[in-house]
A = this chain, B = another copy of it.
Amino acid sequence: MTGQTAQAAARRSQRAFTLADVAATALFAWEGARLAAEAGLDLFGIMVVGCVSSLVGGITRDLLLGDTPPFAFRSPSRLLAALVGSGVALVLAFLGAPAPDELIAVLDALGLALFAVTGAQKALDHGSNGLVVVILGTLTAVGGGIARDLLLGAVPSVLTSSVYASAAAAGALVMLIVVRLTARPAVGMTAGFVVCAGLRLAAIAFDWQLPHLVVR
């Protein structure tokens, strides 16, 4: 009975996790598609950039881990989430609806944190060394945004502005350390998630910036 309860709890937790991941995928697609619409791309280009924004981080991680075809291609759920998110952006842009920028920024911070810890966890599962765990966690979280900005002809915003990629790296690092200390992935992922989302939200609230070094 207790065993069954534990199993049911694990299933519920797995389902909540998948739901969060699908939601984050749709959100990242929405953000990417909005930027593509603003950049003047056509309908097809908008959908492509939306999908790229939400999926390329995880796909690149999987290619680097040698885990092909990438997870996003193995079932339609992530692709559908990306298409739906991009489609919502299209419709809202068509209707001229003002975007709830603050809400999006908060949700984006949560998506960033989720992708950072899940990417780091996957690298850890594949036996990667600590540096690679942090790099792949960060790449999972920001790779889509980098590809999006390259497609739109811009220097990737994650490399130029504010605490974004560094928050993802901090979250992945905290996850790694906690997992090494406690051997409990769930605890590590929770700690990493809180650190990444907290740093990112604080950076938005207090307008934190990392220093720039402009050399003559």
Question: Which chain B positions have C-beta within 8 A of A204?
Answer: none
Find out whether the CB atom of A169 lies under 8 angstroms from the CB atom of B44.
yes
Copies of this protein, total? 3
Find out whether the CB atom of A43 lies under 8 angstroms from the CB atom of B213.
yes
**Contact stretch, chosen from A14-22, A153-161, A182-190:** A153-161
Tell me the smallest distance from the CB of A47 to a CB of chain B, in Å: 9
Question: Which chain B positions have C-beta within 8 A of A156?
Answer: 45, 151
Q: Which of A51, A70, A90 has the most CB of B within 10 A?
A: A70
CA distance A161 to B96 in the complex (A): 22
Residue A11 interfacial (CB < 8 Å) = no
Find out whether the CB atom of A132 lies under 8 angstroms from the CB atom of B44.
no
Question: Which chain B positions have C-beta within 8 A of A159?
Answer: 36, 41-42, 44-45, 48-49, 151
Question: Which chain B positions have C-beta within 8 A of A63?
Answer: 63-64, 68
A155 CB contact (under 8 Å) in B126, B132, B153: B153
Q: If A63-B68, A150-B150 touch, does A42 touch B132 (CB 8 Å cutoff)? A: no
